[in-house]
Structure 1
């Protein structure tokens, strides 16, 4: 168990370090003209700049929710929500695929065979819930994407759970930016609960049915 905790702590450190090194500088640059003002400099390509910013959150300290709100200001709640969800899905896929390429050997060196087996058992049983329910949280989504890749969580359920988490997040923050809402409690409640409700609906379609004898 201690080796498994070590693996989680190492991944958390990898996630947090860019915030400690570049976080202040990136936030200062984006705050100078406001995120929406910065994105409008790209003209018709503002949507692509927004997706790139959100997707880069896997490695850089980008205030992704502020970017999503700015996208909502520029593109409205529907198109803006689609753009935000796309960026969030790409961010989750990037961390997952990198760690899938690294393979379980790296995880086993840190967590040991027993720790890696525990992590795999956790993601085999609860991986979808963890991935779907964590997208709204700070820092943890990146760490969970890394863990899902290192433990070899299958692509199909991972992508489905990631989408369940990213779509409500993207549309809620795009809508909040568009209408200028500052109701943090409602925003967090929807982002926390809606992905789990979606996963309840989607999950049965991912479980293979056994043939009748």
Structure 2
């Protein structure tokens, strides 16, 4: 609870009208934790975390390091259930809490306190990837190029609009239906490693793939 307090997660939740919040932590051994914040039987925050030795392949080199794996992240603002359902993002039953900055700080503190090398997440939805892209990057040039293409080709659309088109099967790459896949995004704590992995060679690959992508919305 203390870390949730320090990083501002609980103070922000209280500001939104949830005063008496329960914390439930369960797990399967030392390296897996399920963290849930509950108010009046409603889930406000659901996090599933694990610590894993993650195998990286970079420039034909293989090495293993321990990372915080974010298996699931969801926030819910059930007091806004009356909101127009058309304004919800794919995967939502109620709006989110809008506390990504605080959760990001919480994740950062966990990485430091556990002496890990960074964090890995597989965003289930495009709009999740947009949030995490502030600190994380896709580990493969293909995924990074697709992410850039979605922002480029739908620059006049809202993030919610792009995500809705994408996850309802309406986006085409040339003539093929584009399917969103939950591919790893990674945050390296060590800046040297970050510049080593995401180097000019990586950026050139991204640029080359980006030139081959042409996205559009299927006519209905």
Same fold by TM (over 0.5)?
A: no
Higher relative contact order structure (alpha carbons within 8 Å, sequence separation ≥ 6)? 1
Structure of larger gyration radius: 2
Q: As a proportion of its length, which structure holds more strand?
A: 2
Q: As a proportion of its length, which structure holds more helix?
A: 1
The TM-score, its normalising length taken from structure 1, stands at 0.29
